[in-house]
Amino acid sequence: MLSTMQDVPLTVTRILRHGMTIHGKAQVTTWTGESEPQRRSFAEIGGRATRLANALRDELGVMDDERVATLMWNNAEHVEAYFAVPSMGAILHTLNLRLPAEQLSWIVNHAADRVIIVNGTVLPLLAPLLDDLPTVEHIIVSGAGDRAVLDGAAAEVHDYEELLARHSAAFESFAWPELDERRAALMCYTSGTTGDPKGVVFSHRSIYLHSMNVNQTESMGLTDRDTTLVVVPQFHVNAWGLPHATFMTGINMLMPDRFLQPAPLAEMIERERPSHAAAVPTIWQGLLAEVTAHPRDLSSMTRVTIGGSACPPALMEAYDKLGVRLCHAWGMTETSPLGTTSNPPAGLTEEEEWPYRITQGRFPASVEPRLVGPGGDILPWDNESAGELEVRGPWVARAYYGGAGGEELVPEEKFSPDGWLRTGDVGVISPDGYLTLTDRAKDVIKSGGEWISSVELENAIMAHPEVAEAAVVAVPDDKWGERPLATVVLKEDASVDYAALKAFLVGKVAKWQVPERWVLVESVPKTSVGKFDKKGIRKQYANGELDVTRL
């Protein structure tokens, strides 16, 4: 027997319409670096999103399933694109502006992006790539910037505000399609640990359900009385779902744009009085140093969601003294991203809460976890049996985007035969569902909330003509959580020094990925099957057995 309930699709369009009407007075405030930030109500954001949808369809001819990319900071215009593009039936593709040029070009071409919306301040990054982006037909520039760098581009260049001004803001002026909730809405690429970047495609349904999870009390627990400072980039797994979640419940957003340094963040917290914020640990380490040296009033910000990498307990304790509670969350691009949040159980003292707070958190109802041992056995939740974490749920990926042909990729190292996502993280789970990560199944380096591929770095170093071998491992770092250590074997009679090797990497990998720690060895230790023994290298480093040079 079937139910008697209505079958209404869960779509981004419905979140947009709800936010701009029911919560129309809520605001998106964008920091400008000037005396007054830019302020737009949700009603205004919705109207401008409608203008953008009309412009994309009528002037640029964007049709269903075509990709519209964004190369943007966190700001109101980016929020407008978040709603306009998927609601009209197209697919929003957020581009990570921190990626190396070669990788960024590969992603745009693999996704076959037809339009790119770009902040004017980011044009120097985009312009040199355009000759290698044959699918891009239109570039929409938002905000001030040197548009002269686009002279000679094959793609047609448009001004964002001029484009919007020519079209209606009335919601009914666009024929919003009634979309299947399982259709693609957004896509984001994760570089992973090896090989080419992998595309994760989020459905309208997964975004809707994930937004409901973000708004749960045991998750971020925000209401329309809150303002959230969204520091986590909108290109970093959709800003952890906050733009959609806020429109669902009327939470005000404070967007930092390109002003991500500790001093402007401290100023915007003091002036705009957000009650919540979300960012990776390195942001909060920098902010702590800033307010220690130059005290600011942070009293409004009582809660912070912190993820991307493990938060040092000392950092949590330091913020506790300031009245700011840091709350761990765990997730990944493939999990939309929220997988756990470390809110302790009710009825505990502060001392009793601490062991829960330093875990990665508890799983919500829609993320089902299991731990798999080396032999494939499913392990118990006893807080002792460590295995690789696998998850499944309505906002968890089941495959990767395979390219313009529409095929899917289901690599066996990432997905189990019965469809669970293999996270690559190793840990334990307590009987009441709290996750503690203890290691990584792969040798990926997690620096400041971003992934660094050790294999990619090794290949880049070994491309130097005087390098015979190179192994890269993660080592602890007080500021970034982890940083790469490069262990290098030079060819006979080679004379290259560390500074030259570091300079060689510039332009081949992202600047922030270049190692500061280097060591020369006669040979890289190997395992019994001839692979680099990275566990052995880490042990040598921990024991002080390596003569490390730090640049």
User: pTM for the whole thing?
Assistant: 0.85
> Is 445-550 in the same CATH topology as 7-204?
no
Q: Are 457 and 489 in contact (CB under 8 A)?
A: no
For residue 280, give the nearest of 481, 479, 448, 483 by alpha carbon.
Answer: 448
Element (H, E) at 84: helix 76-87
> What integer pLDDT is reported at residue 276 of this predicted model?
98
> What integer pLDDT is reported at residue 237 of this predicted model?
92
The active-site residue out of 70, 193, 446, 534 is 446
Q: For this structure, is 451 an active site residue?
A: yes
Q: What is the topology classification, in CATH, of domain 7-204? A: Rossmann fold (3.40.50)
Give backbone dihedrals phi and psi of 542, rounded to 5 degrees, phi first: -65, -35
> What integer pLDDT is reported at residue 195 of this predicted model?
62
Q: Can you give the residue ranges of every domain in the chain?
A: 7-204, 445-550
Strands 303-306, 276-279: pairing kind: parallel
Q: For this structure, is 456 an active site residue?
A: no
Structure tokens at 308: 């991307």
The active-site residue out of 451, 456, 480, 482 is 451
Architecture of domain 445-550: 2-Layer Sandwich (3.30)
> What integer pLDDT is reported at residue 442 of this predicted model?
67
> What integer pLDDT is reported at residue 445 of this predicted model?
86
> What integer pLDDT is reported at residue 439 of this predicted model?
64
CB-CB neighbours of 208 under 10 Å: 21
Structure tokens at 140: 């929409």
> What integer pLDDT is reported at residue 332 of this predicted model?
93
**Runs of H (alpha helix) within 185-322:** 204-214, 237-240, 242-249, 262-272, 281-293, 313-321
Q: Are 276 and 229 in contact (CB under 8 A)?
A: yes
Residues of the chain with pLDDT under 70: 191-195, 439-442, 451, 527-531
Measure Cα distances from 208 to 12, 169, 185, 245 in Å.
7, 24, 11, 8
User: Where does 346-491 show beta strands of DSSP type E?
Assistant: 361-362, 368-372, 378-379, 387-392, 400-401, 408-409, 421-429, 434-440, 445-447, 450-452, 467-477, 481-490
> What integer pLDDT is reported at residue 370 of this predicted model?
98
> What integer pLDDT is reported at residue 252 of this predicted model?
98
> What integer pLDDT is reported at residue 182 of this predicted model?
98
Give the three-class secondary structure for 300: coil
Q: Counting beta carbons within 10 angstroms of the beta carbon of residue 536, is it exposed (0 to 12), middle (13 to 18) or buried (19 or more)?
A: middle
Q: For this structure, is 408 an active site residue?
A: no
Angle between helices 42-58 and 76-87 (to 10 degrees): 50
Q: How far is 128 from 444, CA to CA, in rounded Å? A: 29
For residue 427, give the nearest of 388, 478, 377, 483 by alpha carbon.
Answer: 388
The active-site residue out of 66, 290, 334, 388 is 334
Q: For this structure, is 368 an active site residue?
A: no
- What order do you get walking across the sheet with 517-520 strand by strand? 467-477, 481-490, 517-520, 549-550
End-to-end CA distance of the chain: 69
> What integer pLDDT is reported at residue 452 of this predicted model?
83
Q: pLDDT tens-digit profile of 4-51? A: 999 999 999 999 999 999 999 999 999 999 889 999 999 999 999 999
> What integer pLDDT is reported at residue 281 of this predicted model?
85
The active-site residue out of 29, 190, 282, 335 is 190
